[in-house]
Structure 1
Amino acid sequence: MKNEDLKGLISALLVPYNEDGTVNEAGLRQIIRHNIENMKIDGLYVGGSSGENFMLDTDTKKQIFDIAKDEVKDEVLLIAQVGGTNLYEAIELGQYATELGYNAISAVTPFYYKFSFEEVKQYYFDLVDKVDNRLIVYSIPALTGVEIGVSQFMELFENDKIIGVKFTAADFFLLERLRKAAPDHLIYSGFDEMLLPAVINNVDGAIGSTYNVNGLRSRKIMELAQEGNIKEALSIQNDTNDLIEAILDNGLYPTLKQLLKLQGCDKGSFLARKPMASATQKQINRSKEIYDAYLKDVK
């Protein structure tokens, strides 16, 4: 697969859990089919924040990679997020996902400790040295505290196996400068609520959690913006942001899981992985209101 084939609208895959913290496999398979058949996405980003990945042990991460690949086969592209603070686990997971046939791996910048850029760079270089796959940097400074500038991105891109970045930041000056500096590398928008300005800045695709439930609208935003129909794209982004604002006010992951259930993903438990809280009855009731107001009639 060429890098060109990794472009598009990609859902950051949500994962439903049982009361004991185990993966609800039947529910996960439903979510995957829903993304492919109903949301019409181009790919799945597996093992990211939306899957509550940073609360999981290595075996559970592998289980999710297994289920996703088994369900998807080759219908859409698959990107495995393998990163964290443990380089050796990242290498193990990267090798595992590559053996399964994932089209690329991704890795969040190592966080918690205040790593220097040279340490971050070496983390990525060590990872791709041990994993025979292409890598997409996952940059989300609001959660990791790791800021990467244009010149630093370009140092990372000197490694041929580092092909792009999931850019989850609101710095559109940085995005524009990076796009100009790295026209041949993949840049994915990581903030769903800023999809339109990201597409205007010529990103190659988008990776986000709300595409699990709002993929059809998001596709229209991308296509209209690429066609130059900014006015209509902005109108749909406005509707999308009304939805996102309501979801955020009600609790992001609990609400998304309730919306998935209302869209037909109803097999088994759709709880969060503790210590993250699952939906309260109040959140469940509000999710139904959000669904009726913003998603019920979307086609």
Structure 2
Amino acid sequence: MKGIFSALIVPFDESGNIIEGSLRKIVRHNIDVCEVDGLYVNGSSGENFLLSTDKKKKIFEIVKDEAKDDIQLIAQVGSLNLDEAIELGKYATELKYDCLSAVTPFYYKFDFEEIKDYYFSIIRETKNKMLIYSIPFLTGVNMSLDQFEELFVNEDIIGVKFTAADFFLLERMRKRFPEKLIFSGFDEMLLPAAIYEIDGAIGSTFNVNGKRAKEIFQLAQDGKIIEAKEIQHTTNDLIEKILELGLYQTIKEIFHVKGIDAGQCQKPMKNFNPEKRTDVEALVKHFNL
């Protein structure tokens, strides 16, 4: 399980319901146009933490039915409610997702033993592989190298989605755990992460910019850093504009411009500003999305 994975964007209508036909089109766009290696389903980019359990299950079901076995699928099942995480994990496992992932439990100041028990419980109950989702700037959970080692003792924990700018920890992790999978989680930092021999990357902008991400990753693996740097520059120009306009809203608007009704975001996220539509049209044209 390696390569470039899109953190899948999910379209919702004005009532917050999943637009199934559009979700299928977004999945196909990722596979057929962006040519990503896999999809990371029900992560932050899918607005997972704003959804009911039933909606999360429906997304898992639609994505698997559309993608089938064309690409690798990772099911993010993490939740503050451990029972829900286990329920979602069992459901995704029944659907034959390639592995599970779970964000570190957040909001409450869980100690490491509680975090470890959370992961081990999900694994024990689902009997599936686990990719830890470490995103400290949102969860407030910073784990040390030794704590990662305590988790990695469990052979069913196959690696980590590492969404942090701590490249010292990333380098130390790669050296100490050569057999574990490490996926970079910051799209704008793909190249520097790739230099440390990560196994792949998982990102929201890959939904529309997956081909460039694959080029960066492959060039870095081939030692062609100067060429990779130029593509990362272009990618970061795009990311900078997307962030200025609103991350998830703008990616959805890019799909709108490309003829796919990507709906809107779950409340309390705001809608895309229609006055900025021409800016997105210019992005699509300038970056050949």
Q: TM-score, normalised by structure 1?
A: 0.95
1:294 aligns to what? Answer: 287
Question: Aligned with 1:295: secondary structure?
Answer: coil
Pick from 28, 53, 67 the counterpart of residue 58 of structure 1. Answer: 53
Once residues 208 and 61 of structure 2 are traced to their aligned partners in structure 1, the CA distance between those partners, rounded to angstroms, is 23
1:283 and 2:276 correspond: yes
Select 2:98's aligned residue among 99, 103, 107. Answer: 103
User: Unmatched 5+ residue regions in structure 1?
Assistant: 1-5
Q: What displacement does 1:278 show?
A: 1.6
In 1, the alpha carbon distance for the partners of 2:245 and 2:56 equals 27
Aligned to 2:234: 239
Deviations for 1:120-148, whole angstroms, at most 9, x for unmatched residues?
11110111110111000000000000001
Q: What is the aligned-residue identity percentage?
A: 57
Residue 176 (1) aligns with residue 160 (2): no
Which residue matches 2:148? 153
Structure 2: distance between partners of 1:225 and 1:19: 42
- Once the two structures are TM-superposed, the CA of residue 293 in structure 1 deviates from its matched residue by 2.1
Q: Distance in 2 between matches of 1:265 and 1:40?
A: 17
Q: Deviations over 1:81-114 (max 9, x none)?
A: 0002111100000000000010000000000001
Q: Establish whether residue 189 from structure 1 lines up as the match of residue 184 from structure 2.
A: yes
Q: Provide the secondary structure at the position in 1 that maps to 2:269.
A: coil
3-state DSSP class of the match of 1:239? helix
Moved more, 171-180 or 286-295: 286-295
Structure 1 stretches (4+) deviating beyond 4 angstroms? none
- C-alpha distance in 1 between matches for 2:116 and 2:77: 16
Give the alignment's Cα RMSD to 1 decimal.
0.9
Indicate if the aligned counterparts of 1:140 and 1:169 stay in contact, CA closer than 8 A: yes
C-alpha distance in 1, partners of 2:8/2:107? Answer: 24
Q: 2:15 aligns with which of 16, 20, 29?
A: 20
Corresponding residue for residue 10 of structure 1? 5
Deviation of 1:261 (Å): 2.2
TM-score normalised per structure 2: 0.98
Q: Distance in 2 between matches of 1:244 and 1:21?
A: 26
Residue 81 of structure 2 corresponds to 86
Q: Secondary structure at the match of 2:36?
A: coil
Instruction: Answer whether contact 1:247 1:255 (CA < 8 A) is retained.
Output: yes
Q: For residues 166-207 of structure 1, what are the alpha-carbon distances to aligned partners after superposition, in whole Å with 9 as ceiling and x for unaligned?
A: 000000000000001100000000000000011100000100
Return the alpha-carbon distance in structure 1 between the equivalents of residues 258 and 201 of structure 2.
22
Unaligned stretches of 5+ in structure 2? none
The worse-fitting range, judged by mean Cα deviation, of 78-87 and 274-283 is: 274-283
Partner of 2:197: 202
Query: Which residue of 2 is the match for residue 34 of structure 1?
Result: 29
Would you say how many aligned residue pairs link Structure 1 and Structure 2? 289
CA deviation string 1:211-241 (max 9, x = no partner): 0000111111011111000001000000000
C-alpha contact 1:255 1:283 (8 A) present in aligned 2: no
Displacement of 1:265 in angstroms is 2.0
Deviation, structure 1 residue 274: 1.0
C-alpha distance in 2, partners of 1:280/1:191? 25
- Does structure 2 conserve the Cα–Cα contact (< 8 Å) formed by 1:187 and 1:205? yes
3-state SS, counterpart of residue 84 of structure 1? coil
The answer to whether the 8 Å contact 1:214/1:295 transfers is no
